[in-house]
């Protein structure tokens, strides 16, 4: 079992900061898609905390 804790997203204008903590040496992926934007294919971004993704 993996314990995963997600912090609330922090909006920073045109960017959003995501933060999480998990047990173990794990790899993560974040799906990026628009809520009110026509997104043909969501983006899958590889992430590992702590990480910054300038997308």
pLDDT digits (tens, 9 = 90+) for 6-50: 999 999 988 888 888 888 878 888 887 777 777 666 677 777 655
User: Which residues, at least 6 apart from 8, have a Cβ–Cβ distance to it below 8 Å?
Assistant: none
Contact in structure between 42 and 33 (CB atoms under 8 Å): yes
d(C-alpha 14, C-alpha 17), whole Å: 10
Contact in structure between 34 and 14 (CB atoms under 8 Å): no
Write down the pTM of the prediction: 0.59
Q: What is the dihedral of CA 29, 19, 15, 9, to 10 degrees?
A: 110
């Amino acid at each position: 079992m993996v314990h995963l804790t997600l912090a609330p997203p922090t909006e920073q204008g045109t960017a959003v900061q995501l933060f999480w903590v998990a047990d173990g040496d794990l790899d993560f992926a974040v799906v990026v898609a628009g809520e009110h934007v026509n997104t043909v294919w969501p983006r899958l971004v590889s992430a590992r905390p702590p990480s910054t993704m300038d997308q």
